[in-house]
Amino acid sequence: MLAIAAAVHSSSSIPLLILGTAWTMIGVASWLQMRNVVTSVSINEGSVSFVGKRRCREVRVEDLAEYAVARGDFNRLGVARFVTVAGETIRVAARMDGSMEVLLCIKQQNDRFRVAA
């Protein structure tokens, strides 16, 4: 209906309709993506608990292999990921409170754990 109105009234509103649709799709995609991201990480006696909106996962510290962020994400606005020894990827919010303390505790308990930038 909006496309028909844009075509009938003026051709200058068509680019605005395209841009608005694109931004709406980007917003919906990021909202769907963020529903699967872990928002809280805590360490409990040799295991790490990952808690998100949809799932709660507990992993032993020895099973964590790597923590990585996207190469071009300088301001840490996206998601970071923990990779386990088995290859499972757990996506976490990069700007999580206390993330450095969690990484230091994991590194102290697991020498093979790698922080990739």
The closest alpha carbon to 64, from 112, 104, 97, 116, belongs to: 112
**Nearest to 83, CA basis, from 71, 66, 69:** 66
Q: What is the pTM of this model?
A: 0.70
Q: With H, G, I as helix, E, B as strand and everything else as coil, classify residue 45.
A: coil
pLDDT tens profile 8-63:
666 677 777 788 889 999 999 888 887 888 888 889 888 999 998 888 889 999 99
